Amino acid sequence: MNTSKAIYESPFFPNEPTRPGIKTAIPGPEGKKAVEKMNRFMDCRSVNLIVDYQKSLGNYIADVDGNYLLDVRYAQIASIPVGYNNRALYKAAFTKEMATAIINRPALGVYPSEDWAETVSSSILKVAPSGLNQVFTALAGSDANECAYKAAFMFRRQQERGGAHVEFSEEEIRSSMLNQAPGAPHLSIMSFKTGFHGRLFGTLSTTRSKPIHKLDIPAFDWPQANFPQLKYPLEDNIFENKRIEAEALSDVERIITTYHLPPCAVIVEPIQSEGGDNHASPDFFRGLRALTKKYNVLMIVDEVQTGIGATGKFWAHEHWNLDTPPDIVTFSKKAQTAGYYYGNVELRPNQAYRQFNTWMGDPARTLLFRAIIDEIERLDLVRKTAKVGDYLYSGFQVLASKYPNEVVNLRGKGQGTFIAFDSPRRDIILKKAMEVGINMGGSGQNAIRLRPMLIFQRHHADILLEVIEKIIKP
């Protein structure tokens, strides 16, 4: 289609491969050798690809056998936003400022650097969700969520005690050291079925996506509410989906009001990403916000996977137009640094050192986030992701109508490139895609989820659609 080329933007990475290039089976001979070496000291059963990061560029990941794959797994499980070996990031990494941050890693809670306020203001805070101006920095999504839970528990207990000025009782102090109530209170965090929030002991108790994450690990007896399981296509199931969402909300209300360990917070992903790309409507989330307000339960929005532009908004929860902002928003992955935002300064505990740890983040990673944000702004990547997402979604709509048994429950309309569909032959399709140079991932039971980077353009979408059609065509 030469005629349409005029509307195509010039590529962000002019030296990127023009197509996937596959020379060997994956892993090839060099890949196998590398796995063998690594297997001596680490478990390699999850390894997909031995990567040559020097050769990877833009949307293309290179492996050690000279293969180039179009990476729509949002590189590194949704963690590389602006392309492999992005020059702007390279420049930021090769500075005295970065080297200083790497070699003199501070304990930020005790010895912050003189420029930490400036670094945070020009990075993490610059993109803070509307209504939230406080941040607690962490290292990864899982500990960001756990620190948010701790904030929620401390906040609730402070309210129950009567305010920040009320001292801990002797009984609380004594029992906390014994891991008993009231010091270690009988409270909970509520999450949703098929949600994913991490794999540490607190977060794993709220993760409900797959048994493989949870088996054999002791868990808190915390509650899960039903997440709406919408019917597709949405336009044909409007009333049924309204009913489904209303029922899910009434499940939330039932748990909040009756569960034996009262939830002091609800955590929810804007799109359940590990659990199968499950969406709900803005109405549902507005209803959830109303319920949490009504019952004085904090609303924690887990944007670890959805944040930073991929849905066509910087934060996915911007799609909801909430009347009041969430109480807490957590982030990680594409931000390269992690933590949680909040607005209510009462979420600062009543005493110092309660929400605290040695490093409390990593300034080197925060400097990288700053460079990522600058690059997103320079190239206007959030808006462009919204557009290319619409284009890609239309392409999948065509595939869904041509191959209704292969592309099922297509979802993500108007959600940038955060697109997914159910695929009855999912694992075969993913394997075949890899063989022809598309690095694509699954989630939930049988979903294929797309996670292109923010530098994914129309010409990449064309390749992706063309290859997927070849694979699924009978």
**Contact positions with its own copies (CB under 8 A) in 58-77:** 61, 64, 76-77
Q: Which of these ranges, 80-88, 389-397, 398-406, 427-435, lies near its own copies under the rule CB under 8 A?
A: 80-88
Instruction: Give the number of other CB atoms < 10 A from CB of residue 446.
Output: 17
Is there a catalytic annotation at residue 333?
Answer: yes
Is there a catalytic annotation at residue 306?
Answer: no
Q: How far is the CB of 469 from its own copies (least distance, A)?
A: 26
Positions in 143-162 near its own copies (CB under 8 A)? 143, 146, 149-150, 153-154, 156-158
51 contacts its own copies (rule: CB under 8 A): yes
Q: Which of 196, 314, 369, 456 is catalytic?
A: 196
Residues in the chain, overall count: 474
For tokens 């009984």, name the residue: 171
Q: Which residues contact 26 (CB under 8 A, 6 or more apart)?
A: 49, 63, 65, 67, 434, 435
Is there a catalytic annotation at residue 52?
Answer: no
Q: How far is the CB of 415 from its own copies (least distance, A)?
A: 21
Is there a catalytic annotation at residue 155?
Answer: no
Positions in 221-240 near its own copies (CB under 8 A)? 221-222
Task: Using CB under 8 A, count the residues that bind its own copies.
Answer: 124
Q: How far is the CB of 201 from its own copies (least distance, A)?
A: 3
Positions in 256-315 near its own copies (CB under 8 A)? 261
Q: Which of 301, 355, 303 is nearest to 153 (CA)?
A: 355
Q: Which of these ranges, 14-22, 98-106, 313-321, 423-431, lies near its own copies under the rule CB under 8 A?
A: 98-106
List the Cα angle 169/174/180 in 5-degree steps: 105
Q: Which of 143, 251, 302, 327 is catalytic?
A: 302
Q: Which of 18, 95, 257, 358 is catalytic?
A: 358
Exposed e or buried b per residue across 107-138, where buried means at least 16 C-beta atoms within 10 angstroms of its C-beta:
ebbeeeeeebeebbebbbeebbbeebeebbbb
Positions in 172-211 near its own copies (CB under 8 A)? 172-173, 176-177, 179-180, 183-188, 198-203, 205, 208, 211
Tokens representing 112 are: 């912050």
Q: Using the minimum distance from each CB to its own copies, give the nearer residue, 91 or 402.
A: 91
Q: How far is the CB of 157 from its own copies (least distance, A)?
A: 4
Positions in 311-340 near its own copies (CB under 8 A)? 332-333, 336
Please, are residues 17 and 462 in contact by the beta-carbon 8 Å criterion? no
Q: How far is the CB of 394 from its own copies (least distance, A)?
A: 30
Going from the C-alpha of 414 to that of each of 77, 177, 316, 418, the distances in angstroms are 22, 50, 11, 9
Alpha carbons 453 and 272: distance in angstroms, whole number: 18
Please, are residues 230 and 261 in contact by the beta-carbon 8 Å criterion? no
Residue 141 dihedral angles phi and psi, to the nearest 5°? -60, -40
Q: Using the minimum distance from each CB to its own copies, give the nearer residue, 214 or 242.
A: 214
Please, are residues 140 and 361 in contact by the beta-carbon 8 Å criterion? no
Residues tagged active-site: 196, 302, 333, 358
